[in-house]
C-alpha cells in the first residue's frame, strides 16, 4: 500500500454508535482543513459509505490492468468500498477466509492518489478485519467512537484492548451523541448519560478529542448522501466535526506519530 501519509482507523466495540457517520464527516472536515483525504469502507458485510457519500447506485471503480481499482471521487475525497463492487441488495454470505481475502484485495489493490490521510471505517467489534488490517498495513493510530452509555463503553474497552494487544496507538476517544439540544427551546439534555468518555479515557491514559451532538440533521443529511459538514458547514454539528479534525491533527503532531508505523506482534501466556 502507498499513497498516504497517515492511516487512521475509526473503530468501535459495537454497532449503532455512529462510527461510519463520524468517519465520513471527519474525512470531509479534514478536507476542509486543506488535507488530501481518502476514505476506505472496511465493513464487508454492511458497507454504508457509498450511501452516506451520495455515490449513485451502480457506479463502480475503474479497473486498471485487470486488478487495480481507482477510487471514486465524492465530495472532493477518494472513496472505495465493497458496496461499490457488488449490488446494493446482495448479502455477503461469506465465511471469515473469504471476507479477509476480499478485504485484503480492496486494501492492497486500491490506487490512492497522494493523500495526507486515509480514513478507514472499520466494522464494529474486534474480529477478523481488525486483525487483518493490523497485520497488512502500517497504521498511525485508531479513534474509538462510543456513546456515553455504559453498554457502549463496555464494548469500547474491548476495542481499545484489541488495539493495545497489537500495539496500534489509540489516538483518542470520540464521544458521539454526547448531548441533545432542543431546537425549539435550546434545552440541553444528556440522553445517553454523561462523563462516560472521560472515565474511559482516564482508564486508558488517552483523551476525549471530540464530543459530537445528537442532531437529527446529521442523520437526515447523511441518509441523503449529503453529509452535514458539506451541507451545513456553519451549523454547530458541523463545527463539532471540524473541532474533532483539528484535535486529531494536534494529537498526531504531539505524539510524533505523523507517519505510519508498523504494528508489533508478540506472544504472551495471557
Helices (H), the chain: 19-32, 49-52, 96-109, 128-136, 150-165, 196-203, 216-223, 228-231, 236-255
Kindly indicate the confidence band of residue 260, based on its pLDDT and cuts at 50, 70 and 90. very low
- For the segment 105-112, the average pLDDT, to the nearest whole number, is 91
Of 60-69, 89-98, 205-214, which range is least confident?
A: 89-98
Predicted local distance difference test score (pLDDT) of residue 148: 87
Residues 124-146: tens digit of each pLDDT: 887 888 888 888 888 999 999 99
Of 56-65, 141-150, 171-180, 261-270, which range is least confident?
A: 261-270
Give the percent of the chain with pLDDT over 70: 94
- Record the pTM: 0.90
Contact 214, 178 (CB under 8 A): yes
Residues 15-69: tens digit of each pLDDT: 889 999 999 999 999 999 999 999 999 998 889 999 999 999 889 999 999 889 9
Residue 150 main-chain phi, psi, to 5 deg: -60, -40
Distance CA 264, CA 134 (A): 9
Q: Closest by alpha carbon to 263, among 95, 155, 109, 141?
A: 141
CATH number of 4-254: 3.40.50.300
Amino acid at each position: 500500500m502507498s499513497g498516504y501519509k497517515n492511516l487512521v482507523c475509526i473503530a468501535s466495540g459495537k454497532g449503532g454508535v455512529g462510527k461510519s457517520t463520524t468517519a465520513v464527516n471527519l474525512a470531509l472536515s479534514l478536507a476542509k482543513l486543506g488535507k488530501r483525504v481518502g476514505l476506505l469502507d472496511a465493513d464487508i458485510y454492511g458497507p454504508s459509505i457509498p450511501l452516506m457519500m451520495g455515490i449513485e447506485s451502480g457506479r463502480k471503480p475503474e479497473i486498471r490492468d485487470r486488478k487495480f481499482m481507482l477510487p471514486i471521487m465524492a465530495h472532493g475525497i477518494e472513496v472505495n468500498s465493497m458496496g461499490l463492487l457488488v449490488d446494493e441488495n446482495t448479502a455477503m454470505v461469506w465465511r471469515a477466509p473469504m471476507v479477509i481475502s476480499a478485504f485484503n484485495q480492496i486494501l492492497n489493490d486500491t490506487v490512492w492518489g497522494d493523500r495526507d490521510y486515509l480514513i478507514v471505517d472499520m466494522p464494529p467489534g474486534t474480529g477478523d478485519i481488525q486483525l487483518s488490517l493490523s497485520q497488512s498495513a502500517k497504521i498511525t493510530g485508531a479513534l474509538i467512537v462510543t456513546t456515553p452509555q455504559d453498554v457502549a463503553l463496555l464494548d469500547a474497552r474491548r476495542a481499545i484492548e484489541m488495539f493495545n494487544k497489537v500495539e496500534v496507538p489509540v489516538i483518542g476517544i470520540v464521544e458521539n451523541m454526547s448531548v441533545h439540544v432542543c431546537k425549539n427551546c435550546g434545552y440541553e439534555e444528556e440522553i445517553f448519560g454523561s462523563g462516560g468518555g472521560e472515565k474511559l479515557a482516564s482508564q486508558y491514559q488517552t483523551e476525549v478529542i471530540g464530543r459530537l451532538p445528537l442532531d437529527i440533521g446529521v442523520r437526515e443529511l447523511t441518509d441523503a448522501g449529503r453529509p452535514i459538514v458539506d451541507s451545513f458547514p456553519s451549523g454547530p454539528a458541523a463545527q463539532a466535526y471540524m473541532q474533532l479534525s483539528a484535535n486529531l491533527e494536534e494529537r498526531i503532531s504531539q505524539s510524533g506519530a505523523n507517519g505510519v508505523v508498523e504494528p508489533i506482534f508478540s506472544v504472551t501466556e495471557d
